[in-house]
Amino acid sequence: MGICQLLSNRRCGCCFLSPIHFQEKPSKSRHRRVAAASVDGENSVPTLTPLQAGDKKPRKQTLAALIGGASAALLVVIILVLVYICLMRVKRFMRRTSDTASSLPSPTVELEGIKTSHYAGAPSPHDTQNLRQLSMSELEHATHNFSQSNIVGEGRFGLVYKGLLQDGAIVAIKRCLNTSVHVFLREVKQIAQVSHRHLVKLVGYCEDGHQQFLVYDYIPNGNVGNHLYDSEGSPTGKLNMRQRLLIALGAAKGIEYLHSLAPPLLHMHFRSSNVLLDDNFTAKVSDYGLSKLVSEDQFYASSSAIDCFLDPELSASKKFSVQSDVYSFGVFLLELTSGREALWMDESNSEPTLIMQAKDSDNLVNFVDETLGDRSMRGAKQIVELALQCIEISPRRPSMKSIVEELERIQEKEIGRLIFESAEEIGAVTLGSELFK
């Protein structure tokens, strides 16, 4: 009886908890529902099953997380750009302080019986003890007796040979004939006092009879012109915008250093062929300080041809100044941005020079090297505008210090712009993916 009564009670309870009953009196919890499950065949035991939530909430959480991550990444990029700009400004301030200190006048000193002017900002004249006086036999051995296969170029001073010294140092040896011995030794001592990251270092010299030699560090990647244009002066597209900016800035700093010395050391023959590139494509200016070691007629244009790098005002004044170097640097910037060579202009050649093309260009976009691409056009146009200032009449030309500062500003803008564009591209890839479909 007890068992039967119990079973009867369970059936009654089961009927009491039937789905119909629950439909008439819904549960207080709207997120749960009652489902009847079959247990032991006939007996139905009600169970409570949670109502499944929709899929919208996890998708919204994923979207929010991705947007938050993208925002955080963009914030990091902005912070990095601001830190970089601050560091560049601190660097400029420190360099200006150094230039101010280096502009103080310095006394004349005696060096090995030769009276020389000690350039302010240059190393002590006693540091020239590291300058090596090489023998003729050492140079012959280094160049395989001045073999033609070792010739790597020719400049105002003469032929340039690549050589290997006995201590393993690779050097560039410049050979000159018939220079006054007294002038040669004096100028060598002065050049040896000059040292800067963007100047080719003089490491030794040799004087033998009627020929003299200057021995420099060997710069492996040649001059900038070799990377800008081919044998016909047309663009090759080997250098991107970032590399050209760094080269322009490095060369400008080298010339600025020479001009900051007391008295200023004029280059007097600056051009693309005298801007060399090392393994890291760092620009190094060569052939500085040679003004008294070459004949004077090499500085001025002849009646039959015009050197585009030479300041046209020299034809009347015959007097070099820092502004003459600025003019040459402006032509260098035109080559750097156009990718074309500033050729000598002959009287029989009626084609406009690179300088005339830049001045007469209504749209600088047409002047800029098209291999740089549209993304680099803004920075390239700013450099061309700076170049046009450099080739103005001398009173209007900027100083090399101002040129360095302007190139640094262009570099800051270009790097910041490229970082932001890269961040935008990353964001576009994320938002355009299949994540939200």
At what angle are helices 377-390 and 400-431 packed, to 10 degrees? 170
Measured distance CA(417)–CA(424) in Å, rounded: 11
Which residue shows structure tokens 């970032």? 242
β-partners of residue 132 are 204
Decide if 255 contacts 330 (C-beta within 8 A). Answer: no
Query: Quick one: tokens of 229?
Result: 């244009």
Task: Name the pairing type of β-strands 170-177 and 158-164.
Answer: antiparallel
Instruction: Rank 36-40, 184-188, 270-274 by mean pLDDT and report only the highest.
Output: 270-274
Note the pLDDT tens digit of each residue in 150-183. 999 888 788 999 999 999 999 999 998 766 677 8
Topology at the third CATH level for domain 228-437: Transferase(Phosphotransferase); domain 1 (1.10.510)
List the domain boundaries for the chain: 113-218, 228-437
How does residue 7 score in pLDDT terms, banded at 50, 70 and 90?
A: very low
Task: Report whether pLDDT(107) > 70.
Answer: no
Note the pLDDT tens digit of each residue in 243-268. 999 999 999 999 999 999 999 999 99
Task: Report whether pLDDT(363) > 90.
Answer: no
pLDDT at 415: 78
pLDDT at 409: 95
The residue that leads in pLDDT, 257 or 421, is 257
| Mean of per-residue pLDDT scores for the chain | 78
Decide if 190 contacts 125 (C-beta within 8 A). Answer: no
How does residue 351 score in pLDDT terms, banded at 50, 70 and 90?
A: confident
Closest C-alpha among 370, 367, 395, 399 to residue 383: 367
The reply, when asked if residue 381 is annotated as ligand binding, is: no
Instruction: Rank 42-56, 88-102, 119-133 by mean pLDDT and report only the highest.
Output: 119-133
Measured distance CA(334)–CA(206) in Å, rounded: 37
CB environment 39-73: b (16+ within 10 A), e (fewer): eeeeebebeeeeeeeeeeeeeeeeeeeeeeeeeee
β-partners of residue 162 are 172
Decide if 200 contacts 216 (C-beta within 8 A). Answer: yes
Closest C-alpha among 166, 168, 162 to residue 150: 162
Question: Are domains 113-218 and 228-437 of this chain identical in fold?
Answer: no
Averaged pLDDT for residues 336-357: 84
Measured distance CA(131)–CA(127) in Å, rounded: 8
Query: Quick one: tokens of 69?
Result: 């991550």
Class of domain 113-218: alpha beta
Task: Report whether pLDDT(192) > 60.
Answer: yes
